[in-house]
Homo-oligomer: A and B are copies of this chain.
Amino acid sequence: MTRAYNFCAGPAALPEEVLLQAREEMLDWHGKGLSVMEMSHRSDEFVGIAQEAESLLRELLSVPQDYKVLFLQGGANLQFSSVPLNLLGSHSSADYIDTGIWSNKAVKEAARYGKIDVIASTADQHYHRVPQQQELKFNKDAAYVHYCSNETIGGLEFDYVPVTENGVPLVCDMSSTILSRPIDVAQYDMIYAGAQKNIGPAGLCLVIIKESLLDREVSSIPTMMSYRVAAENDSMYNTPPTFAWYLSGLVFQWLKRQGGVAAIGEVNARKASKLYAAIDESRLYANPIAVANRSWMNVPFTLADTGLEKAFLKEADAAGLLNLKGHRSVGGMRASIYNAVPEAAVDALIDFMHAFEKKYYPA
């Protein structure tokens, strides 16, 4: 078996140790004679798996006691509706920060349920930087402020946590940065994240929410989208995606073995730093994002000669460096270097990029 280096933006690489353990336990979990996939979600065994996963996540992120952790379905996209349906309450509007494709999708969906005010946008600067705190023109009656801490497609990341006014809750789509470094959960009122980047396989979505926000849902909300109902039922109002939940627990165990989010954050900083350095030092490759806002997780780059893109992708693939093609909406290349992408993968990519430039774009 040869494992490739996988730079996919999501569903993304998983730690090899996690896949090995899942393989080992595939037909017979802990001598119980059945797969995790075949267990009742209400069995002692699965409830134990589920609770352990939640405990580990709470430990890794130091989640305060007054926050609920929910294991949901539907990905971040379903949250684009769930957030307004759960949090608008009696408010008529919410504030959104626009930093690219994903925050825009959130705006469009939320606008179907309330008045959405885009309080800051860097669209006119091609989303090459994030708005600064002083540019955020909050509405004092907003139900909440929403932003996306990392735009997976643009490779644009907030280097600060916005501070709202008048105690308006802060909601963050953290799909592609959660667990990549320490965060202070208390700075947020709600965090959500699709699993398929730093958490586990696709089909699971995490919500971390302050309990005091669970009383705001609008009456028409589908029961399955209610955070209150999910919280009251320990995310088992219905059958949850049990295998994805179990795998996320294995990922959390792995992350703890790596030394937790502080330790992985150091590795991630180093991975990103050396890859951006390689891009900046080259004549062939370029990344347009303001240095302070460059994503640690998603590194898009262009080739000065776009005619070389096909060869780049083909030769990278042959070298076992997979999924480097940029998102269809923007083109170019993108290397997603989530937690499970080892530093050796980034080193191999940099070596490949150097060799490719030397061969096809010599000085």
Give me the interface of A with B, judged by CB distance under 8 Å.
1-4, 6, 8-14, 16, 19-20, 22-23, 26-28, 32-35, 37-43, 73-78, 80-82, 85, 109, 112-113, 194, 196, 201-204, 219-220, 222-225, 237-244, 247, 320, 322-323, 328
Contacts and interface: CB of A to CB of B under 8 A. Distances in A.
A322 B201 CA distance: 28
Nearest to A328: B42
A27 B8 contact: no
B203 A240 contact: yes
Contacts of A202: 37, 41, 239-243
Given A13-B34, A224-B78, A242 B39 contact: no
B242 A74 contact: no
Given A4-B33, A203-B204, A40 B11 contact: yes
11 contacts: A1-B28, A3-B33, A8-B38, A11-B39, A11-B40, A16-B27, A37-B201, A74-B74, A76-B238, A77-B238, A201-B242
Nearest to A76: B238
Contacts of A201: 37, 241-243
Contacts of A23: 23, 26-27
Given A6-B34, A6-B38, A239-B75, A1 B13 contact: no
A137 to B, nearest CB: 28
A241 B73 CA distance: 9
Contacts of A19: 26-27, 35, 37
Contacts of A9: 40
A15 to B, nearest CB: 10
A27 B17 CA distance: 10
Nearest to A243: B201
A251 to B, nearest CB: 11
A224 B8 contact: no
Contact of A3 (B34, B203, B224): B34
A41 B11 contact: yes
Contact of A14 (B6, B12, B35, B328): B35
A39 B73 contact: no
